[in-house]
Amino acid sequence: MKSITDFFANLGGNVLSAVQKLGRGHMLFFQMVMGMDEILRRPSLLIKQLFYVGVLSVILISLSGFFVGMVLGLQGYYTLSQFGAEATLGVMVAASLVRELGPVVTALLFAGRAGSALTAEVGLMKATEQLSGLEMMAVNPIRRVLTPRLFGGIISMPLLAAMFSMFGVLGGWFVGVGLLGVDDGTYWSQMQTKIDLHEDIYNGIIKSIVFGVVCTWIALFEGYDSTPTSEGLSRATTRTVVHSAFAILGLDFILTAIMFGE
Amino acid sequence: MTKQRHLEIMVGVFVAAGIVALFFMALQVSNLGNITDQEGYNVQARFDNIGGIKVKAPVTMAGVKVGRVTKIEFDKETFEAVATLNIEKKYDQIPDDTFAGRN
């Protein structure tokens, strides 16, 4: 009898703490967005975060995009040439990059590269009581520390995803046209007739903005909500990457179903 | 101060590169270049069966693309499919007795 009530007590406790955490996350998001005027008043805060979150990710994102594009070129050529349809290689490469791989892989890399760094930074600020210190000086740490980071992430993500897709298309071109002998004109013209500006490109950008919000939000919340010990910090950083990956892949399915499902 | 300036320059380059990438996607990858001549004129074609034709499918004459399918409807009086074809303005010499087929 005791073990049964224990079971229900545990279950209830877990659900309650999950709901509380969800609530704290949404409260924090609301407070971060409400602090938007802070970045208008001090744009240098945002610029600094754009540098750390965006600029430092450019090389990783561009190189990954190029390699993903090259793999798509090789693999696509192998499959398409069996049907004599090498001419549509450009469509295959561009459609997969713009619709799915660009936003998703960028967001996954972003979560690993920038998200974990944000969590560690904010978590350490909390552990060393820098956030409380700011509060003691009547500076709101959410507005001063978290808001610029959130918007840095939201602005960086679509730009990074666009770079990823661009380098991917060029990588596919390099392999398909340069190495495997697909015609240059066919590669581009097939792509241009099949890829639609609204349907494919805008939706890809919307996806990457959504992922930017979610990834940065998760990273900042985990850092802000972490237990201020070295163990708590390491767990928070792990949770950032794991939760971001789940959120990205899950949301990607939902967004794809809404955008491209008929 | 110089460090701040360095940061600003790098961020400026980053944002500019991102916008260049977006333009590249819009101009080089998508069909933005092709849909600028959107005006053209509409003609209607009736089919017993529309088959696999979808909106935005290309309309070709002698194998050359001259326009796009913009709308597909069902005529409930004649029980036919009515496809509206948008033909580019430069092809305005198409004879009256031209008939449409699907392939």
pLDDT for A65-102, tens place per residue? 999 999 999 999 999 888 888 888 888 999 999 989 99
Complex ipTM over 0.85: no
CB contact under 8 A, A193 and B25: no
Cα–Cα distance, A71 to B43 (Å, whole number): 44
Q: Tell me how far apart the alpha carbons of residues A98 and A254 are, in angstroms, rounded to a whole number.
A: 17
| Mean pLDDT calculated for residue range A244-249 | 94
| Mean pLDDT calculated for residue range A174-201 | 85
The whole-number pLDDT of residue A246 equals 94
Which DSSP helix (H) or strand (E) runs through B46? strand B41-47
Residue B43: C-alpha distances to residues A64, B37, B89 (Å): 47, 16, 12
Set of chain A residues whose Cβ sits within 8 Å of the Cβ of B32: 197
Give the percent of chain A with pLDDT over 90. 66
Residue B4 confidence (pLDDT) above 70? yes
CB distance A97 to A69 below 8 Å: yes
Q: Which of B1, B10, B14, B59 is the best residue to mutate to test the A interface, defined by the most A CB atoms within 10 Å of its own CB?
A: B14
Cα separation, A91 vs A88, whole angstroms: 5
Average pLDDT over every residue of B1-30: 85
| Per-residue pLDDT at B2 | 80
What does the pLDDT read at residue A189? 83
Mean pLDDT of A183-203: 83
> Per-residue confidence at A124, pLDDT binned at 50, 70, 90?
very high
- Rounded mean pLDDT, A228-246: 93
Checking if the pLDDT of B37 tops 60, the result is: no
Q: Is the pLDDT of residue B34 over 90?
A: no
CA–CA separation, A55 and B7 (whole Å): 9
Taking an 8 Å cut-off on Cβ atoms, the answer to whether B22 and A205 are in contact is yes
CA distance B32 to B30: 6
Residue A233, pLDDT score: 93
Per-residue pLDDT at A153 exceeds 90? yes
Three-state secondary structure call for residue B68: strand
What one-letter code names the amino acid at A152?
G
**Could you tell me which residues are beta bridge partners of residue B74?**
B81
Residue spans of alpha helices (H) in chain A: 2-34, 36-41, 43-49, 58-81, 89-95, 102-110, 116-127, 130-136, 141, 147-173, 184-194, 203-224, 230-260
Task: Express each pLDDT in A24-58 by its tens digit.
Answer: 999 999 999 998 888 888 888 899 999 999 999 99
- Average confidence (pLDDT) over B27-37: 66
Give me the mean pLDDT over the A201-227 stretch.
93
Query: What distance in Å separates the CA atoms of residue A202 and residue A215, rounded to the nearest whole number?
Result: 20
Strand partners, B41: B87
Residue A109: name the closest of A69, A54, A146 by CA. A54
pLDDT higher than threshold 80 for residue A238: yes
| CA B8, B10, B11, B15 torsion-angle sign | positive
- DSSP-derived secondary structure letter, B48: S
**Quick check: A51 and B11 CB within 8 A?**
yes
Say yes or no to pLDDT of A254 above 90: yes
Compute the distance between CA of residue A32 and CA of residue B59 in angstroms, rounded to an integer.
51
pLDDT digits (tens, 9 = 90+) for B41-86: 888 888 888 887 777 777 888 888 788 888 888 888 888 888 888 8
In this prediction, residue B23 carries a pLDDT of: 86
B61's tokens: 């004459």
Mean predicted lDDT score pLDDT of chain A: 91
Instruction: Give the per-residue pLDDT at A155.
Output: 93
Q: Tokens in use for A123?
A: 């978590």
Helix (H, G, I), strand (E, B) or coil at A151: helix
Q: Tell me what percent of the residues of chain B surpass a pLDDT of 70.
A: 91
| Neighboring chain B residues of A48 at a CB cutoff of 8 Å | 7
> Can you tell me the mean pLDDT for B26-32?
77
Residue B36 has pLDDT above 70, yes or no: no
Q: What pLDDT, on a 0 to 100 scale, did the predictor assign at position B94?
A: 80
CA distance A252 to chain B (A): 20
**Which pLDDT belongs to residue A60?**
93
Mean pLDDT of A100-106: 93
Chain B residues within 8 Å of chain A (Cβ atoms) = 4, 7-8, 10-11, 13-15, 17-19, 21-22, 24-26, 28-35, 56, 58
